[in-house]
Every structure is written in C-alpha cells, then in structure tokens.
Amino acid sequence: MSDPDADLEKMDHAALLATARAMRQAIRKHRDSSMHELCWHHPDMWALLPEPPTGKQIVPDWPQFMRGCIRYRQSLDQQLADAPRSNTEFGE
C-alpha cells in the first residue's frame, strides 16, 4: 500500500504551512460547532485530504443511529457539563 501522505514530502514550506492552516481552520470550525450542527456530517474536513473518500462508508439503520445520537448527547453531558443548554428546535 502506498503512503497516503507522500504528497507532503513534495510540498515546500509555504505549501505545508497553507495546508496546516487549512486543516486547523476546519478543525476549529468543527470544534466550535454548536446546537444541531454538532450532529452533522462535516465533509469539508474530508476535502482537506488529497484522496477522495472511498465510498465505503457504512450508514447505520435508524434505530442504531438514534441510539448512537443519544450516547453522543450523553457524552456531551459528561464532557461539557457546564455548557449552556438550549431548547431550540432544528431549523429555528
């Protein structure tokens, strides 16, 4: 298997810095998401990689997906216990 990061070896200093800045910006955007955005897929992060997605992503069926959403939300209660809460519905 070839090295998926081999393109980094060919980049000059300026290109490496630009790549690092773009990755940091995408990570910050994802990190600083709030409300319903926390549950959304963020393909802009994937777009920072030189190769396209494999297309082999597996999407869970609804019951399994909803259980995963509930567990994710429970983890926010633990990890962000002091964060403000909102009762705003999606789309409002």
Look at 86 and 42; give whichever has higher pLDDT. 86
**63 CB-side CA count, 13 A:** 0
Over the stretch 81-92, which tens digit does the pLDDT of each residue have?
999 999 999 888
The reply to whether 16 falls in a domain is yes
The reply to whether 23 falls in a domain is yes
The reply to whether 85 falls in a domain is no
Domains in the chain, number:
1
Specify the pLDDT at position 46. Answer: 85
Domain membership of residue 30 as a residue range: 6-79
The whole-number average pLDDT for the span 12-21 is: 96
86 contacts 35 by C-beta, under 8 angstroms: yes
Specify the pLDDT at position 64. Answer: 95
Specify the pLDDT at position 76. Answer: 93
* Whether residue 38 has pLDDT greater than 80: no
Could you give the CA distance from residue 52 to residue 57 in angstroms, rounded to a whole number? 12
**pLDDT over 70 percentage in the chain:** 99
The reply to whether 64 falls in a domain is yes
